[in-house]
Amino acid sequence: MRAAIVLALVCVVLPIGALHAQSTAGAPVAAPPAQTDLAKLDQRLTAAQSSADNAWMLVSAALVLMMTGPGLALFYGGLVRQKNTLAIMIQSFALMALITVLWAFVGYSLCFSEGTPIIGGFGHVLLRGVGVDPNADYAATIPQLTFMVYQLMFAIITPALITGATAERMKFSGTVVFMALWSLFVYAPLAHMVWGKGGMLNATLGGRFPTLDFAGGTVVHISSGVSALVCALYLGKRTGYPKEPMPPHSLVLSFIGACLLWVGWFGFNAGSALASNGLATSAFVATHFGAASATIGWLAAEWLMRGRPSALGAISGAVAGLVAITPASGFVAPVPAMIIGLAAGIGCFVMVTIAKARFGYDDALDAFGVHGAGGTIGALLTGVFATQSVNPIFHDSQGRSLPVGWVDGNASQIGYQLVGIATAWIVALVGSIVLLKVTDLVVGVRASADQELEGLDLTEHGEEAYNLEM
């Protein structure tokens, strides 16, 4: 038996060794290998797996960056009025730069180094100790540098999502200061609580309240969505809202942006497996099915209630589904993924078209209606549909797999999901109020009425998106 395994290993590893140009031609295949050869084989097998995982994770990191720029920048850029196009796009782009620099200084350390159950410590400040060696706590087969840069892309897109609520009226300086603070004082603690070793909500690394969040339903979407609502309320309505018409200036841009988001989301969710394995495939499939059924949900609701299905409805539904499936993607089978998507498509439609009008807040591009609502729906339903047949994340002391979600019979998971959801809501609510107040005192948050009238492109950035005259 053992000989057969060794032989199989040789067959698998030999071609890979040859690729590395470290000739193993001299090794007799049929001869019983010595102990040292076994160790070598083992090493090469590990190297081969690491190469495969690393390739996928680098691609995933690039896909997630693509979600911010161009994805989100185009999606939001098309939804604003023409005079604010560049202003909203540059906010996404500036965050790509700003969060990256912060991440190297302290951001990564506050999220992922060991610290308290609430926030990480300073062990990785200036990326100290982050190199090509894996960090086995998080991802044992890829360089920690890969893990670090992959997580950075999440830290970038999360504050960028909030700009959908502050669009067309928040000053650039205020945006920069607020987002920088927000990244350190809202994102970092939440990311540490849910994903960091020892975080209080971490499901696998010693959390007191094991919350299931595969790719960021609480950390990314509830946090940004709820903060978006706070921003919309703090800033107040855009001048003229809701009396003056403020239709999207180019749904073509939004359409392209939404398509890029959908594709990029495969890196976001399937990449969160942190390896190129079956779980990644499972998350990939759940992501796609969730987005598809949410698109149908939103369109159907719109068609029934308003008489016509719209392009904006289709792409909004897709994004809502992608948001909701994010926490569930690595825990649920395809059919439950479609149920989650459908619930999000219809739920977010109601939030955006009915609740927003009733309560009268000006969430300009519906960052709360889609990310806050969709994230909450998804985080809750993850507790319902998570199953050990997809991801055996819980074990007993003998290593046997335990039920994960309600469908497995673990109803208490719903309670933990509620704890996670409530924590994310509270941190985002309180953190955003305080940080907005601080930002307001330091640089101010709201553009003047004159600036709003003329447009932020010209008054904040001295340029215009379209100079089409001859």
Partner 1 sequence: MKLIKAIVRPNKVDDVKDALGRVSLSGMTVTEVRGHGKQKGHTAIYRGKEYDVSLLPKMEIEVVVPDNLVDDAVAAIIKAARTGEIGDGRVFVIPVEQSYRIRTGERSDT
| Stretch near partner 1 under the rule CB under 8 A, chosen from 137-145, 227-235, 346-354, 457-465 | 346-354
Q: Are 438 and 184 in contact (CB under 8 A)?
A: no
Retrieve residue 397's tokens. 């002391």
> Could you give phi then psi for residue 446, rounded to 5 degrees?
-100, 135
| Nearer residue to partner 1 within complex by CB, 18 or 305 | 305
Give the three-state DSSP class for 395: strand
Alpha-helical runs (H) found in 135-250? 144-166, 172-182, 188-195, 223-235
| Stretch near partner 1 under the rule CB under 8 A, chosen from 7-15, 145-153, 330-338, 348-356 | 348-356
- Indicate whether 313 belongs to the interface with partner 1 (CB under 8 A): yes
Least separation, in Å, of the C-beta of 263 and partner 1? 23
- Indicate whether 316 belongs to the interface with partner 1 (CB under 8 A): yes
Please tell me the distance from the alpha carbon of residue 262 to that of residue 64, in angstroms, as a whole number. Answer: 10
| Nearer residue to partner 1 within complex by CB, 129 or 242 | 242
Site string for partner 1, 281-310 (x = CB under 8 A): -------------------------x-x-x
Least separation, in Å, of the C-beta of 449 and partner 1? 22
Please tell me the distance from the alpha carbon of residue 103 to that of residue 148, in angstroms, as a whole number. Answer: 9
- Indicate whether 243 belongs to the interface with partner 1 (CB under 8 A): no
Least separation, in Å, of the C-beta of 160 and partner 1? 20
| Nearer residue to partner 1 within complex by CB, 242 or 415 | 242
Closest CA to 182 of 438, 456, 460: 438
Please tell me the distance from the alpha carbon of residue 8 to that of residue 13, in angstroms, as a whole number. Answer: 9
| Stretch near partner 1 under the rule CB under 8 A, chosen from 2-10, 11-19, 82-90, 312-320 | 312-320
| Stretch near partner 1 under the rule CB under 8 A, chosen from 82-90, 239-247, 264-272, 380-388 | 239-247
Please tell me the distance from the alpha carbon of residue 292 to that of residue 341, in angstroms, as a whole number. Answer: 7
Please tell me the distance from the alpha carbon of residue 195 to that of residue 419, in angstroms, as a whole number. Answer: 15
- Indicate whether 438 belongs to the interface with partner 1 (CB under 8 A): no
Vertex 112: Cα angle to 177 and 127 (nearest 5): 75
Q: Which residue has the tokens 């909030």?
A: 162
Q: Which residues of 17-38 are buried (b: 16+ CB within 10 A; e: fewer)?
A: beeeeeebeeeeeeeebeeebe
Least separation, in Å, of the C-beta of 301 and partner 1? 10
Task: Name which position in 353, 382, 388, 391 contacts partner 1 (CB under 8 A).
Answer: 353
Number of CB atoms found within 10 A of residue 442's CB: 13
Task: Name which position in 357, 411, 442, 449 contacts partner 1 (CB under 8 A).
Answer: 357
Least separation, in Å, of the C-beta of 352 and partner 1? 5
Task: Name which position in 117, 121, 123, 248 contacts partner 1 (CB under 8 A).
Answer: 248
- Indicate whether 129 belongs to the interface with partner 1 (CB under 8 A): no
Least separation, in Å, of the C-beta of 307 and partner 1? 9
Please tell me the distance from the alpha carbon of residue 287 to that of residue 291, in angstroms, as a whole number. Answer: 6
Residue 135's DSSP bridge partners are 139
Q: Does an H or E element contain 109, and which?
A: helix 108-112
Task: Name which position in 366, 408, 452, 460 contacts partner 1 (CB under 8 A).
Answer: 366
CA distances from 82 to 50, 257, 321 (A): 47, 16, 28
| Nearer residue to partner 1 within complex by CB, 206 or 242 | 242
| Stretch near partner 1 under the rule CB under 8 A, chosen from 113-121, 242-250, 281-289, 321-329 | 242-250
- Indicate whether 402 belongs to the interface with partner 1 (CB under 8 A): no
Binding residues for partner 1, rule: CB under 8 A, are 242, 245, 247-248, 306, 308, 310, 312-313, 316, 349, 352-354, 356-357, 366
